[in-house]
Amino acid sequence: MLGWEPTWGQAPILVCRKRFILVSGGEGSGKSQIAEKHALLRIWESEEGKLFWLAGDDYAQVEREFAYLRADLATLGLLDVKRSTERVDPGRLVTVDWRRIETKSLGDEGKIGRDGPDGIVVCEAGLISWSAYMRLQGRVARNRGWMFLCGTLELGNTSGWFPTLKKVWASGAGDSQSFSLPTYSNTFSFPGGLEDPEIKRIEAATSDEYFRLRIMGEIVPPQGLVFPEFRPDIHVKDVSWVGEETPVYIWEDPGYGSSAHAVEVAQVIDGQVQVFDEIYLKGKITSEIIQVCQVREWWKSPKFLVSDPFYKDQHHSQRSVAETWVAETGLVAGGERVPIVMGIERVKTFLKVDPLSGESRLAISPRCEGLLSEFGMVPNPLKGPDYGNICAYKWRVDGDGRVVGEVPEDRYNDAIKALTCGLVWQFGYARDNRRSVIKVKRHGGFADALMRRGSVR
């Protein structure tokens, strides 16, 4: 009816009816066109009165898809011109049978509406934050709606949430599927496909990494991540404080100089460690960090403090970190020196996924951006809004990507140090090579011991 036919790369995307679809496209591959056509078919197949969103980091990201959709609906005789807009910021398209398509800017997550759309197309999805993506997930959950994520893989951002989901969804298991849409699949622009002279010219003129990311739409595996098993679809959940009857664990890594002062706040719910809040700041003294903690709603719960022992007893002023906590809150800081490799092994045991439940022993709120950035999922919150700025905890690697040395680089690990110290103090080591037995601290015994030592308030 529109006189349009998909390319061989677009065709399988067009017919896919999974709830969650992710497309990483090369430059000029036609990803905006296939996103709009896929949305058009879903809208065509929907019932009257349904609501759909075109969403992007800002309105400029949805402009092309909006224009395509407006033109196609008009050609099909479905567009209610009087109720529709030509502008995109914000924009609205209404069909003659009252299906509605609205544009959304995700730059200000607080303005994402409370409506429950029946489908969302996320344009240039690699540019939006993980927390914005999670909010969109919550919106489509209300009506069991679908989501179509389309974007380009960015240099320097290959360990973020968008490429990670692409890798996780590649198998097509369950309700999710990811696709690659290489530039050369657009045979209208590049009739020779992969052997087209222009594609060959680009390949010769650019690096292998650039060609694979921006032309082939493929992931270039990040080199040297300490925790490559971290998965946003498994380990990032919308967990929150459950109430003042449940103990709260405050795990701290004091920061000095260029390091962050990281405080990770967790509760243990049904055996799962849920990190629901975080303070991740630079240039703040311990008293200022304590003041931030004291105004949080979880402060009224029973509290247990664990602080990195390398810093907590050092005197950079009149009082050490541990002495400041005691003087101002009455909390006595636990914590012991944790060998780096043994600490990494302990965290990895909490990242393991139970094959029956599909859950891990660790869940992290999307609000904990400092911790997530060190796992390589989101940009570092202290580095500014550059979405390509992934600063993850990594091993040292040589020019060929091989790990060098026995310990990782000692940077971008402040929140992970806090988490590691807390997990080891609470649960012991996965396997303690220093003893003939496995060391485990039971939940009740840990609480009783701290009560006796006056470490809880």
pLDDT at residue 451, as a whole number: 41
> CA 440 to CA 291: how far, in whole Å?
33
Sequence-distant (6+) residues with CB within 8 A of 101 are 39, 43, 52, 53, 54, 69, 92, 93, 94
pLDDT at residue 400, as a whole number: 65
In this structure, the strands spanning 303-307 and 20-25 are unpaired
The answer to whether 422 and 264 have CB atoms below 8 angstroms apart is yes
The CA distances from residue 86 to 34, 79, 93, in Å, are 21, 12, 9
Sequence-distant (6+) residues with CB within 8 A of 386 are 379
> CA 116 to CA 50: how far, in whole Å?
10
The answer to whether 145 and 118 have CB atoms below 8 angstroms apart is yes
pLDDT in tens, 265-297: 999 999 999 999 999 999 888 999 999 999 999
pLDDT at residue 335, as a whole number: 86
DSSP letter for 356, please: T
Stronger pLDDT, 43 or 173, i.e. the higher one: 43
Residue 412 burial (CB < 10 Å; 0-12/13-18/19+)? buried
pLDDT band at 313 (very low <50, low <70, confident <90, very high): low
The answer to whether 408 and 225 have CB atoms below 8 angstroms apart is no
Token reading at 363: 């869940």
pLDDT at residue 444, as a whole number: 44
CB-based burial, 70-105: b 16+ in 10 Å, e otherwise: bebbeeeebbeeeebbeebeebebbbeeebbbbbbb
The answer to whether 345 and 430 have CB atoms below 8 angstroms apart is yes
Domains of the chain with bracketed CATH: 11-221 (3.40.50.300), 234-453 (3.30.420.280)
Is this model's pTM higher than 0.75 or not? Answer: no
> CA 127 to CA 106: how far, in whole Å?
10
Of the candidates 251, 248, 266, 232, the residue with the CA atom closest to the CA atom of residue 415: 251
The CA distances from residue 318 to 281, 293, 307, 322, 455, in Å, are 22, 22, 18, 12, 22
pLDDT at residue 431, as a whole number: 62
Choice among 157-166, 246-255, 380-389 with the minimum mean pLDDT: 380-389
131 — phi, psi (to 5°)?
-65, -35
Judged against a pLDDT cut of 70, whether residue 443 lies above it is answered with no
> CA 211 to CA 217: how far, in whole Å?
8
pLDDT band at 69 (very low <50, low <70, confident <90, very high): very high
DSSP letter for 394, please: B
Share of the chain above pLDDT 70, in %: 86
User: What is the average per-residue pLDDT within 84-93?
Assistant: 94
pLDDT at residue 174, as a whole number: 84
Number of alpha carbons in the 13 Å side-chain half-sphere of residue 456: 15
pLDDT in tens, 357-398: 889 999 999 889 899 989 987 778 887 544 445 688 999 887
Share of the chain above pLDDT 90, in %: 57
3-state SS string over 247-279? CEEEEEECCCCCCCEEEEEEEEECCEEEEEEEE
Q: How many CB atoms lie within 10 A of CB 163?
A: 24
Q: Which helix (H) or strand (E) holds 122?
A: strand 119-123
Helix, strand, coil percentages for the chain (3-state, nearest 5): 35, 20, 45
In this structure, the strands spanning 92-94 and 248-253 are unpaired
> CA 106 to CA 136: how far, in whole Å?
9
pLDDT at residue 436, as a whole number: 36
pLDDT at residue 309, as a whole number: 76
pLDDT at residue 111, as a whole number: 64
Output the CA torsion sign for 434, 440, 446, 448: negative
Token reading at 148: 């179509």
